[in-house]
């Protein structure tokens, strides 16, 4: 792994931006209090904290969207009590949000200069395409992008798209680029590329604020970490002081290891076995996988390895191109999610908002949706029975909401995910498949979800957890299967768990050159 | 009853009061009964449309189906001497088949509902004209079917039976949509088909059922329309009726994206539309302006509704901001 970390040598250049004594309150909550920080040219600062710690409020203040109640913002020696959006842009503060504001149907140059296209043709007001492409090329070069200005955006990977956003920031003479959760949906190889881009920015003297839940990336990329908890600055770690445990302890005010817990699994019989499965993603590759009662099987691999496709097949959403599935020894055909659910095979899908919950429905209606028959008198839904079940699950999972009739969309990500879980826990699962169960969820809620997963396994449920988060896979699983291009490239027992081993298998190499390569069957 | 329904009801009452004040004939029993009859007939087809719109789809073939099943029913009863209950069963079965075909095309072949039902609109209209050789289908002089005529065009205690039929159907459909498991599944599919599927709902079955319900209710309304007009010109009968149904549903708070709306809302939408029709007649507005009046009122209604929602949002936001920044000086 190439280290792209900022050099330890501290930059002695003067800070051009400083915040002092910033306070911002919303009804019922102080989002930021007495917050101070400085940003110097070429500095890469990590900003970490749980959801609700005040990161977004800070971003809003820097972006000129929210005005602080107290404190000062000093840019280039000019002191202000708040920023406007225009002032923020003029000061060279640029944001790259988690959800990119790009246009699939345009090329790279057009995306960079959208709304600011160079013109020609006088009153005809035509776009000067040649000039636009000529202007875009050097920006891309500065970032070391491997693509040109006329590449269609649709052809780019997510990390490359983020590069386009960053190029856009450069085109506006950014001095500070704020990356909000840029790696949360990036596969490992892409993450490397983004970290290299950050390094390129640093080299140009552009400051970067890097917000992420992925602490090992923070650890590698930044020269300084600012930790927020409940609106208060709880830590300011310099390069030498940054360790994973320290950041976590500061973020949550307690130890996470104790929360996941170390556990000796007592794996039982095979509950679900899939043989010779071929999916649309890799039609020529077959894989076998078996899930055992009482065990959490982690499924690691690069994004695009076919893990989600496998989950969809096991849950009956997609029909496999070939292969057979046995459940408790009996062959089954899962032709729809309905059939999978009837047999106790449940999926917590990757995209919560698209497939996990109905945001507009109350919590109770989401929980009972797959099992309305049990909450009905005849063909009519019984509100009373629904509320009883929902209330029970709300307490069991400690879903934080005013009532079970609260609109699910108004909950935090972690609590929405708990609603998805509650839906299945209410129905006695035999097999639970989790696809990226903690993506975009803060650390507190994460550990609760890990506990629930462990609880399920302890009750004899076979658990499959798909995750791209290395720490999670290593910390939570009893056994890890790694996928590569539609194949299981290897399975690791607890003693062999390591990031290196997983990465090697994920890129399709075997971990021990002498042993027979642990390739899946190939046609 | 939601706030929106209540607003619609008040609008209906206010418009009614104004019309009554200008032209007292509005409140004459004969006028009210006529309007109730129209509400009954259009209402039945609008309820069907509502189920389809709930899935996020649309059913454009309603008017043509009304024409096709209308001429068929009249021909079977008046010319082929088929007992009317059997004729009724035949056309209802046709409705089921049409709904099934539309639903299957939309769910299995994944064709857009707009396209499928637009083709239906053209096909059934063509078939209706071909079947009658473009001549008017009607009952012969002196032909009498007392029970059928009572059920469709008769009155009970002065109330048109078509209106009573609408009420009965509305109650059933209210239970189906708002209380049954199927209704909940329908809402879920309309709101987010993907999430519904991941929750184990047979989304295809739900959508097909909505199209079948729509066509069955359409056929029921077609019988009422046929017995009301008693003679059917296949090229004009039922023209635009799908749009009345869609307009009523939209007025009644249905979202064309699906997943939103209520039976009461759809009913109120129908009532308002018919009230407007009646208003055009009673206030001496040239009947050629009929559509223009309807279009204008729907447009104003939708704009007002949107503005009201925005106003409310702004007000709550303002309140929040005031609470948040009690001492904030001007920026």
Task: Tell me the pLDDT tens digit for each residue of A224-259.
Answer: 999 988 888 988 888 888 887 788 778 776 555 554
Choice between B327 and A431, residue whose per-residue pLDDT is larger: A431
Per-residue pLDDT band for A503 (boundaries 50, 70, 90) equals confident
Q: What mean pLDDT is reported for chain B?
A: 90
Q: Which of B186, B204, B140, B278 is nearest to A317 (CA)?
A: B204
Nearest chain A residue to B185 by CA: give it.
A369
Asked if B200 and A340 come within 8 Å (Cβ–Cβ), the reply is yes
Q: What mean pLDDT is reported for chain A?
A: 85
Q: What percent of chain B has pLDDT over 90?
A: 65
For residue A427, give the 3-state DSSP assignment.
coil
Asked if A360 and B191 come within 8 Å (Cβ–Cβ), the reply is yes
Asked if A381 and B331 come within 8 Å (Cβ–Cβ), the reply is no
Positive or negative, the Cα torsion across B160, B162, B168, B174? Answer: negative
- Exposure string over B201-210, b if 16+ CB within 10 A, otherwise e: bbbbebbbbb
pLDDT tens across A150-165, in order? Answer: 999 999 888 888 889 8
Per-residue pLDDT band for A44 (boundaries 50, 70, 90) equals very high
| Res. B41: pLDDT tops 90 | yes
* A420 interface with B at CB cutoff 8 Å: no
Per-residue pLDDT band for B87 (boundaries 50, 70, 90) equals very high
Cβ distance A92 to A64 under 8 Å? no
Q: What pLDDT is attached to residue B216?
A: 97
Q: What pLDDT is attached to residue A509?
A: 74
Asked if B331 and A341 come within 8 Å (Cβ–Cβ), the reply is no
pLDDT tens across B157-190, in order? Answer: 889 999 999 999 999 999 999 999 999 999 999 9
CA distance B76 to chain A (A): 37
Q: Which of B266, B171, B250, B177 is nearest to B213 (CA)?
A: B177
Touching A: B residues 147-186, CB under 8 Å: 175, 179-185
Least confident range from A24-28, A186-190, B327-331: namely B327-331
Q: What is the mean pLDDT of residues A177-183?
A: 85
pLDDT tens across B225-269, in order? Answer: 999 988 889 988 999 999 999 999 988 888 888 888 999 999 999
Using an 8 Å CB-CB cutoff, list chain A residues near B185: 372
For residue B40, count CB atoms less than 10 angstroms from its CB and return exposed for 0-12, middle for 13-18, buried for 19 or more: buried
Q: What pLDDT is attached to residue B322?
A: 55
Per-residue pLDDT band for A51 (boundaries 50, 70, 90) equals low
Cβ distance B164 to B41 under 8 Å? no
Partner residue opposite A67 with nearest CB, options B179, B185, B331: B331
| Class of the CATH-defined domain A268-344+429-523 | alpha beta
Per-residue pLDDT band for A30 (boundaries 50, 70, 90) equals confident
Asked if A372 and B328 come within 8 Å (Cβ–Cβ), the reply is no
Per-residue pLDDT band for A260 (boundaries 50, 70, 90) equals low
Q: What pLDDT is attached to residue B209?
A: 97
Nearest chain A residue to B329 by CA: give it.
A69
The gap from C-alpha A498 to its chain's centroid, in whole angstroms, comes to 21
Asked if B192 and A358 come within 8 Å (Cβ–Cβ), the reply is yes
H or E element in which residue A227 lies: strand A224-229
Partner residue opposite A358 with nearest CB, options B181, B191, B331: B191
Cα–Cα distance measured from residue B325 to residue A72, given in angstroms and rounded to the nearest whole number? 16
Query: Checking phi first, is residue A103 left (phi over 0); if not, alpha (psi -120 to 50) or beta?
Result: beta
Q: What pLDDT is attached to residue B248?
A: 92
Q: What pLDDT is attached to residue A362?
A: 93
Where would I find the H helices in A8-97? 55-63, 85-90
Choice between B219 and A284, residue whose per-residue pLDDT is larger: B219
Choice between A172 and B3, residue whose per-residue pLDDT is larger: A172
| Res. B288: pLDDT tops 90 | no
Q: Report long-range pairs for A395-400 (Cβ below 8 Å, ≥24 apart).
A: A396/A422, A396/A425, A397/A421, A397/A422, A397/A425, A397/A448, A397/A452, A398/A448, A399/A363
Q: What pLDDT is attached to residue B230?
A: 86
Per-residue pLDDT band for A9 (boundaries 50, 70, 90) equals very low
Q: What pLDDT is attached to residue B125?
A: 95
Q: What is the mean pLDDT of residues A96-106?
A: 84
CA distance A57 to chain B (A): 13
Cβ distance A47 to A210 under 8 Å? yes
Q: What is the mean pLDDT of residues A23-30?
A: 80
Every domain range in chain A assigned CATH 3.40.50.300: 17-259, 268-344+429-523
Q: What is the mean pLDDT of residues A402-429?
A: 90
- The DSSP code for A440 is T
Using an 8 Å CB-CB cutoff, list chain B residues near A315: 198
CATH 3.65.10.10 for domain A17-259, yes or no, is no
The gap from C-alpha A516 to its chain's centroid, in whole angstroms, comes to 35
Count of alpha carbons within 13 angstroms of residue B198, beta-carbon side: 27
Q: What is the mean pLDDT of residues A253-275?
A: 70
Cβ distance A210 to A44 under 8 Å? yes
| Res. A10: pLDDT tops 50 | no
Using an 8 Å CB-CB cutoff, list chain A residues near B181: 372-373, 376, 379-381
> What is the number of residues in chain A?
523
> B interface mutation test: which of A357, A369, A383, A410 has the most B CBs within 10 A?
A369
| Class of the CATH-defined domain B3-320 | mainly alpha
The gap from C-alpha B72 to its chain's centroid, in whole angstroms, comes to 22
Q: What pLDDT is attached to residue B304?
A: 80
Q: What pLDDT is attached to residue A8?
A: 37
For residue A150, give the 3-state DSSP assignment.
coil
- The DSSP code for A517 is P
> B interface mutation test: which of A360, A363, A427, A429 has the most B CBs within 10 A?
A360
Q: How many CB atoms lie within 10 A of CB B147?
A: 10
Please give, one letter per residue, the 3-state secondary structure of chain B: CCHHHHHHHHHHHHHHHHHHHHCHHHHCHHHHHHHHHHHHHHHHHHHHHHHHHHCCCCCCCHHHHHHHHHHHHHHHHHHCCCCHHHHHHHHHHHHHHHHHHHHHHHHCCCCCHHHHHHHHHHHHHHHHHHHCCCCCEECCCCCCCHHHHHHHHCEECCEEHHHHHHHHHHHHHHHHHHCEHHHHHHHHHHHCHHHHHHCCCCHHHHHHHHHHHHHHHHHHHHHHHHHHHCEECCCCCCCCHHHHHHHHHHHCCCCCCCCCCCHHHHHHHHHHHHHHHHHHHHCCCCHHHHHHHHHHHHHHHHHHHHHHHHHHHHHHHHHHHHHHCCCCCCC
Give the C-alpha distances (Å, rounded to integers) separating A383 from A364, A393, B46, B188, B261.
Answer: 9, 15, 28, 16, 19
């Amino acid at each position: 792994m190439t280290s792209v970390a900022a050099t330890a040598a501290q930059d002695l250049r003067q800070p051009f931006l400083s915040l002092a004594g910033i306070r911002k309150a919303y009804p019922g909550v102080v989002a930021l209090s007495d917050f101070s920080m400085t940003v110097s040219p070429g500095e890469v600062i990590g900003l970490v904290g749980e959801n609700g710690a005040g990161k977004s409020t800070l971003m809003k203040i820097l972006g000129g969207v929210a005005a602080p109640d107290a404190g000062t913002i000093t840019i280039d020696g000019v002191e202000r009590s708040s920023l406007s959006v225009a002032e923020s842009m003029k000061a060279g503060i640029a944001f790259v949000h988690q959800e990119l504001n790009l246009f699939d149907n345009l090329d790279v140059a057009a995306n960079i200069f959208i709304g600011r296209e160079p013109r020609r043709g006088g009153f005809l007001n035509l776009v000067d395409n040649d000039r636009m492409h000529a202007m875009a090329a050097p920006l891309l070069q500065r970032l070391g992008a491997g693509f040109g200005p006329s590449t269609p955006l649709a052809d780019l990977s997510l990390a490359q798209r983020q590069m386009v956003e960053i190029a856009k920031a450069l085109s506006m003479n950014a001095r500070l680029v704020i990356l909000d959760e840029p790696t949360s949906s990036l596969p490992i190889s892409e993450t490397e590329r983004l970290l290299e881009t950050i390094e390129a920015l640093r080299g140009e003297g552009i400051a970067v604020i890097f917000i992420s839940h992925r602490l090992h990336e923070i650890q590698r990329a930044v020269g300084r970490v600012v930790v927020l908890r409940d609106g208060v600055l709880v830590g300011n770690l310099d390069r030498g002081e940054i360790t994973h445990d320290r950041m976590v302890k500061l973020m949550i005010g307690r130890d996470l290891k104790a929360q996941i817990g170390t556990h000796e699994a007592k794996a039982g019989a095979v509950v679900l076995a899939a043989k010779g499965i071929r999916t649309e993603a890799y039609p020529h590759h077959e894989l076998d996988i078996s899930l055992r009662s009482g065990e959490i099987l982690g499924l690691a691999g690069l994004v695009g390895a076919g893990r989600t496709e496998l989950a969809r097949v096991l849950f009956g959403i997609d029909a496999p191109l070939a292969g057979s599935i046995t459940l408790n020894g009996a062959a089954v055909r899962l032709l729809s999610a309905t059939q999978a659910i009837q047999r106790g095979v449940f999926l917590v899908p990757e995209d919560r908002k698209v497939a996990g919950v109905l945001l507009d429905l109350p919590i109770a209606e989401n929980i009972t949706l797959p099992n309305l028959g049990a909450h009905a008198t005849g063909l009519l839904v019984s509100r009373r029975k629904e509320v009883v079940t929902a209330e029970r699950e709300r307490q069991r999972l400690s879903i934080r909401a005013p009532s079970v009739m609260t609109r699910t969309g108004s909950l935090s990500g972690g609590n929405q995910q708990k609603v998805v879980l509650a839906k299945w826990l209410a129905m006695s699962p035999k097999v639970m498949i989790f696809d990226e169960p903690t993506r975009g969820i803060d650390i507190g809620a994460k550990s609760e979800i890990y506990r629930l997963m462990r609880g399920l396994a302890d009750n004899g449920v076979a658990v499959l957890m798909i995750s791209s988060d290395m720490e999670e896979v290593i910390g939570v699983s009893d056994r890890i299967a790694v996928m590569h291009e539609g194949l299981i490239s290897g399975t690791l027992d607890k003693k062999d768990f390591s990031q290196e081993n997983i990465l090697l298998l994920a890129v399709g190499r075997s971990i021990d050159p002498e042993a027979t390569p642990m390739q899946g069957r190939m046609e | 009853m939601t706030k929106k329904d209540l607003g619609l009801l008040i609008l209906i009452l206010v418009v009614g009061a104004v019309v009554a004040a200008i032209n007292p004939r509005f409140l004459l029993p004969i006028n009210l009964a006529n309007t109730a009859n129209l509400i009954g007939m259009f209402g039945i087809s609008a309820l069907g449309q509502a189920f389809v719109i709930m899935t996020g789809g649309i059913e454009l073939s309603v008017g043509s189906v009304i024409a096709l099943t209308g001429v068929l029913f009249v021909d079977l009863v008046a010319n082929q001497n088929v007992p009317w209950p059997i004729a009724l069963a035949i056309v209802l079965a046709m409705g089921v088949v049409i709904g099934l075909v539309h639903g299957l095309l939309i769910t299995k072949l994944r064709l857009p509902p707009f396209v499928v039902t637009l083709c239906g609109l053209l096909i059934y209209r063509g078939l209706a004209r071909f079947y009658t050789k473009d001549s008017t289908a009607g009952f012969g002089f002196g032909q009498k079917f007392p029970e059928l005529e009572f059920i469709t065009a008769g009155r009970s205690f002065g109330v048109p039976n078509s209106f009573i039929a609408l009420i009965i159907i509305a109650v059933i459909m209210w239970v189906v949509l708002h209380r049954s498991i199927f209704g909940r599944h329908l809402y879920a599919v309309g709101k987010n088909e993907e999430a519904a599927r991941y929750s184990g709902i047979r989304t295809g079955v739900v959508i097909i059922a909505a199209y079948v319900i729509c066509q069955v209710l359409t056929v029921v309304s077609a019988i009422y329309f046929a017995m009301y007009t008693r003679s059917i010109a296949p090229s004009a009968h039922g023209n635009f009726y799908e749009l009345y149904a869609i307009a009523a549903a939209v007025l009644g708070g249905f979202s064309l994206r699906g997943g939103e709306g209520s039976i009461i809302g759809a009913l109120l939408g129908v009532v308002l539309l018919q009230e407007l029709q009646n208003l055009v007649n009673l206030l001496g507005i040239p009947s050629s302006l009929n559509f223009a009046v309807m279009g204008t009122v729907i447009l104003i209604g939708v704009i007002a509704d949107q503005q009201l929602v925005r106003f409310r949002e702004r007000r709550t936001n303002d309140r929040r901001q005031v609470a948040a920044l009690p001492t904030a000086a001007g920026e």
